[in-house]
Amino acid sequence: MSSSDTVPATGLSTGLSLRAVGAGLLAALVGYASSVAVVIHGLTAVGAGTEQVVSGLVLLGFAMGLTAMGLSLHRRKPISIAWTTPGMALLAATGAVEGGFPAAVGAFVVTGVLIVLAGLWSPLGRWIAAIPKPLANGMLAGILLKLCLAPFLAVSQAPGMALLVLATWAVVGRVARLYAVPAAVAVALGAMALDSSGGAALSGALWPGVTFVQPVFTWEAMVGIALPLFVVTMASQNIPGLAVLATYNYAPPTRPIFLVTGAASALTALGGAPTVNLAAITAALCASPDADPNPARRWQAAFVGGIGYILFAGLAGVTAVMVTRSPPILIEAVAGLALVGAFGAALMGAVQVEANRTAALVTMLVTASGLSFVGVGSAFWGLLLGGAVHLLHWRSPVSQPAK
């Protein structure tokens, strides 16, 4: 094992970091609540019933939680795991296929197997390491930009709640910056609990179950779901996730990550759960200095985030009702407030070197645009187009002063 794959032994004796614990719990809350409605919509679009949706959410929580805990503990790096939100959007756009939900489950199984195969092919990790830091920072800034705008967009959609959350964040941040975001989260949760949908949510299943789905393998589902889902997961989640970790000087080996997440995806697919992969947006919550000033202790944030996902799995029935009936912009607003610092650091890293500034800005703007082409998300295209500009200007002649 190379020295770049592990944290020095001194990092193991630094004790429990309360900041990392808080960052991990916040990452789980933000990652789950901000996109669980997308997961529910994607599953129902391909034919899942209510019991199958709840089963999928339960197994997703365990798959994300256990893989994040195992990988971060083993590697002592903040390896955050999430579901494939772009992939769920892809399912919602694809709709039902021949064979119904069992055929979709068969596609989920094949997608997990493809990710395992990707783990057996090593060049991907070297490609990620070769991405110039300004481009990686530009991509991260583009990913975070839309979410960081959410607190202010929320004012027009849910003015009362949004202004209360913003005021809490600003006032608490004035006296205790580290507690500003947790205080805003507490206020947002209180607002949702007092909302009229809270009673309906509590009427959901308090102990959700798991339903086995016999997979069916059809050509239509393989072409229409499995292959696009694999491409979207790798291009819009795993590659950006590795790039985000590289931004904070973490370079975990890709093979165990893909083998573990791919195997977990293939196994839990039998209960209706779609793919799990590296986190991109919430990875910044666990890997940045805001999680802990000591890089050797930030793995604890990803570990605790995994525990949070497992806890959410037990609330799948209630969560499915509460989140879908609450304003999604409210959770997005809290996430945006939590990521303001990470966005500022990424933006500075992207533009501080003038020679790379244009390429980094192209990467950021394309990523932030939400461009989607052939089923692949904007983060991939941002890196691709930014990289093209970087290569175009790399050997450009230095302009000579006019005589």
H/E element holding 259? helix 254-268
Token pair of 167, please? 């005021």
**How confident is the model at residue 83, as a pLDDT?**
94
DSSP 327: -
* Amino acid found at 40: I
- Distance CA(241)–CA(237), nearest Å, equals 6
**How confident is the model at residue 328, as a pLDDT?**
65
**How confident is the model at residue 267, as a pLDDT?**
97
* Amino acid found at 330: L
pLDDT in tens, the chain (403 residues): 343 444 443 344 457 888 899 889 988 988 887 778 778 888 988 988 888 988 999 999 999 999 999 999 999 999 999 998 888 887 887 788 889 999 999 999 999 999 999 888 777 656 666 778 888 888 888 878 887 888 888 888 888 888 988 999 899 888 877 677 778 877 877 776 676 454 555 555 556 788 899 999 998 889 888 988 888 788 778 988 998 899 899 988 889 999 999 999 999 999 999 999 999 878 888 999 989 999 999 999 999 999 999 998 888 877 666 655 666 677 677 777 877 877 888 899 889 888 889 999 999 999 888 787 765 667 778 888 998 999 888 765 544 444 4
- Distance CA(327)–CA(219), nearest Å, equals 38
Q: Tell the residue number behind the tokens 């819009």, with chain if given.
A: 236
- In degrees and rounded to multiples of 5, residue 278 shows phi and psi of -65, 140
Q: Do 122 and 72 meet the contact criterion of CB atoms below 8 Å apart?
A: no
List Cβ neighbours of 190 (8 Å cut-off, separation of 6 or more): none
* Amino acid found at 337: L
DSSP 396: P
H/E element holding 111? helix 100-119
Strand partners, 82: 277
**How confident is the model at residue 161, as a pLDDT?**
83
309-312 CB contacts, 8 Å cutoff, 24+ apart: 309/28, 309/31, 309/32, 309/60, 309/61, 309/62, 309/64, 309/65, 309/68, 309/81, 310/61, 310/62, 310/65, 310/66, 311/28, 311/61, 312/28, 312/32, 312/61
Find, among 62, 44, 38, 35, the residue nearest to 267 by Cα. Answer: 62
CA angle 252, 255, 256 (to 5 degrees): 75
Token pair of 349, please? 């890293």
**How confident is the model at residue 337, as a pLDDT?**
82
**How confident is the model at residue 35, as a pLDDT?**
77
Query: Is the CA virtual torsion 273, 278, 284, 289 positive or negative?
Result: positive
Dmax (CA) of the chain = 80
